[in-house]
Amino acid sequence: MTTTDDRPATAAATPAARVRRPATLTDAFLRDLVARVPGSGGQTWDLTEVYTGETLVQLPQSTPADIERAFAAARSAQQEWASWPLRKRLKVFKKAHSLLIDNAQLTADLIQAESGKNRRMAIEETCDPPMVISHYLKRAPKLLKPVTRGGPVPVVSTSTEIRQPKGVVGIIAPWNFPFATGLSDAIPALMAGNAIVLKPDNKTALSPLHGIKLLEQAGLPKGLFQVVCGEGPDVGPTLIDNANYVMFTGSTATGRVIGERAGRNLIGCCLELGGKNPMIVLDDVDPDEWVAGALFGVFGNTGQICMHIERIYLPESRYDELKARFVAAAESLRVAAAYDFGPELGSLISVDHMQRVHSHVQDAVAKGATIVTGGDPRPDIGPAFFEPTVLEGVTTDMLTGCMETFGPVVALHPYRSVDQAVALANDTDYGLNASVWGADVDRAVSVARRIHAGNVNVNDSLATAYASKGTPSGGVKQSGVGARHGDQGLLKYTDVQNLAVLKKQVMGARLGQDYDEYVKGMLTGLKMMRRTRIR
């Protein structure tokens, strides 16, 4: 099957001019969402529908004074919120869970309009906050419950670990999953008793604003969850300087800047950064299962997933077979601008980003790589569309060989031995995600354990690791600091207070006591402590 210009079926027959915005996204509805964003300076950002390039709404841009006022309001609301019993706070999220699910279709409309992703990815993005809520509704009571332990002197002393909220958490969310990261990173922080000041990307502020509105409908106090907008260099410094903790998802370069400023302010931060994620395919792989999983790992969200696969290592003995299967599947993908479930790929986030992805491909070709399929923009579909692209002969002196391309582009590489494949997979400054495929699961797991990455999926590309909310998810090397999910994903938003109680004055020598006698007793006590089980 080909389109009218004889390109392979990765193209769509739906030109951008025929895309109609969902009736749910009225001008009044969109204006109501952005009305909560402070912008006293009068500057605005044209937030556009990615499929068409048409302006959806003018987004206010927050000044430093606006940001400081947002933190002051959040801090005021946080004092009352932190005083609520935990069960009362969690009751809000039980209701929010239902509201988020009931409004999933409307949320997906917003996500598609502002990001250009296909419908499947938009709907799946709406599932993340309810999943996070479900997990922490079960874990938060245990994690936040005070834990009393024995003190230095048995019986007469105790030490209690009390988890206190940090105060106001600043969250800087990316454009690729604005609703998921904007809300899911905030949920455990809110459960722990904190307030939030969120800075979404200008391009994708609508869906998190809608999510906050739903949280308030569920009973979250107004003022507790603030939103400020603006370009990173304009907003970031003031946000970090006023926050008690910072959660950031984005590029490694920006993460370094945020980490440095947080360090100067002596506040903690969690940074999920870039990746150059590898996939190793073992020689016993089932090609049918692998192709389906690899397609999503490479082209899901049009390649705009921090954990998506950019390098695939295939066994030399099966290279031609597996390459042919994967390329044929990539060429069959339907790329279109539509608010229904027809397209398997949507748009890139912007024309600027599309041009960056294209420049990586052009650089690779100029330096000797080969385009197996794809490689070109598709302005006939929409302003920022790009073909699913498979490359061969990519080397580390090429942009797409060493840097994160963050688009629907993957490089195929043959390998002769598993040791060579592992070495190639680890030959990167990044360490966010990796994937290993093989019919012998034990063998695949043994290979996976050798890869230097914070997340490694066996017989999956990325979803299994990320959706496992009970286990921390983060990067190593240049891919980040800290983690989201798991117990760590909530406890990072708390400070530990050690409440120590001494019931009788037995610490130290008594007034007038012979010190030699005291030291002898103290050393005897230390020997006894070694034999005594202390909680």
Amino acid code (one letter) for 263: G
Contact 239, 67 (CB under 8 A): yes
- 3-class secondary structure, 380: coil
3-class SS letters over 262-281: HHHCCCEEEEECCCCEEEEE
Strands 245-249 and 268-272: parallel
Residue 152 in tokens: 């230095």
272 is catalytic: yes
Q: Which residues contact 155 (CB under 8 A, 6 or more apart)?
A: 503
What whole-number distance in Å separates Cα of residue 147 and Cα of residue 500?
A: 12
Number of residues that this document lists for the chain: 535
The whole-angstrom separation of Cα 57 and Cα 78 is: 31
- Helix (H) or strand (E) holding 171, with range, is strand 168-172
Tokens of 276: 């150059």
CB of 262 closer than 8 Å to CB of 482: no
Q: Which amino acid is at 460?
A: D
- 319 three-class SS: helix
- Tokens 């983690």 map to which residue? 483
Q: What is the Cα–Cα distance from 106 to 25, expressed in whole angstroms?
A: 8
Beta bridge partners of 268: 245
Identity of the residue numbered 275: G
HSE, side-chain direction, 13 A CA sphere, residue 483: 23
- Strand partners for 59: 45
Inter-residue contact 454 to 474 (CB < 8 Å): yes
Strand ranges, E, within 356-488: 370-373, 389-392, 409-415, 433-437, 455-458, 480-481
Residue 410 pairs in a beta bridge with 390
Per-residue DSSP letter, 43: -
| Contact (CB, 8 A) for 371 and 391 | yes
Helix (H) or strand (E) holding 128: helix 119-143
Which of 178, 165, 55, 171 minimizes the C-alpha distance to 111? 178
Residue 115 Cα distances to 108, 126, 205, 263, 378, angstroms? 10, 13, 10, 32, 17
Q: Which of 114, 125, 272, 344 is catalytic?
A: 272
For residue 385, how many C-alpha atoms fall within 13 Å in the half-sphere facing its CB? Answer: 26
Q: 335 forms bridges with which residues in the sheet?
A: 345
Residues assigned a catalytic role: 272
